[in-house]
Amino acid sequence: MIDYYQKGKWDLMIDYYQKGKWDLMIDYYQKHSEYLHSPLTASKETALHMAVCSKQEQPPKDLLEIMTTSELPLTETEFLKKTNKFGNTVLHEATIYGNNKAVKLLVERCPELLSVPNEFGETPLFTAARFAETEIVEFLIRSKPGQRVDDDGLLLPIHRQRTVDSMSILSAAIIGQNFEAALLLLELDRSLASLKDKNQTSTLQLLAEMPAALESEFPMGVFERLIYYCMTFFCVIINISFHFMKMASSHPCLISFPFA
C-alpha cells in the first residue's frame, strides 16, 4: 500500500535537492532520522547518494553525523553499503560525480566500500578510473592496500576486470580518456596491459583505435608513455616465450616436465 503522506515528503526532499536547499533537507532528517536509509527516487538513491552527487562537502558530513547520533535499525557500515538500483554505493557515486572530499570521507569511515562491486561488477576504483579526476584515482590506489592489492602488489581480481563483459580497469580508463589515471594503474600493475575483454580486445588495440586521443587536450607525452608501457609489457612476454621455446628445443624434457 502506498503511503501518500510519505510519498509527498519524498517529493519535497527531491524538490529541496534540485533547488540546493540542503539546510531544509538536513533539518528534516534531524527530526525524522528513521527515514534516512529509505530510497528517495525510482533508482533507489538515498539522501546520502544524492548528497555525494551534489559535489558539496558539508551535506554528506551532516547526514553521516545524523546517522551516528541516531538510533537506527542499520549500523553505519550497513547504511554506507546500501546501493541504488545499479548496485552503486555512495562511494561509487562519489567517484562518478568527482566529489573528492566525499570519497576521502567515505573511505575513512568505511574502507570496506573499496571492495564492493556494483551490478556490472565494478568496484569504486573501477568507476573512478573511467569517470573521476586523476587525483581521486590516485587516492584510491594509495588507500588501504589490503582492500586493493594482493601480497605481490598486484591489483586484486575484483578490481582488475568487471564481470559484465570482462572489460579491464585499464581499458575503462582509456575509454574515459583518463590517460593519466591509466598510467598510474600501469605503474602499479604492468600485467593489466595483458587483459582482454569478452571480445578479445586489448588495451593496445583500444589505443590504436583512438586517433581522436592524439588530438585531444591531453599532453602528447602522457599518451606516448601509455603506449610505451603497454608495448614494453608485450615485448617482455614475447621475449620470455621466445627464450622458453629456444630452451625447450635444446632440452625436449622441458616440454614434458609440467605434465610429469
Note the pLDDT tens digit of each residue in 109-131: 999 999 999 999 999 999 999 99
Residue extents of the structural domains in the chain: 4-235
Mean pLDDT of 29-54: 93
90-112: buried (b, 16+ CB within 10 Å) or exposed (e) per residue? bbbbbbbbbbbebbbbbbebbee
* Predicted pLDDT of residue 78: 94
**Is 196 strand, coil or helix?**
strand
* Predicted pLDDT of residue 236: 40
Nearest Cα neighbor of 178 from 136, 143, 141 is 136
Write out pLDDT tens, residues 82-111.
999 999 999 999 999 999 999 999 999 999
Joined together, the cell numbers standing for residue 44 give 533507489
CATH topology of domain 4-235: 1.25.40
As a whole number of angstroms, the longest Cα–Cα distance in the chain is 82
* Predicted pLDDT of residue 88: 98
What band does 243 get if pLDDT is binned at 50, 70 and 90?
A: very low
Joined together, the cell numbers standing for residue 181 give 589515471
238, pLDDT greater than 70: no
What band does 3 get if pLDDT is binned at 50, 70 and 90?
A: low
What count of residues does the chain have? 260
* Predicted pLDDT of residue 225: 60
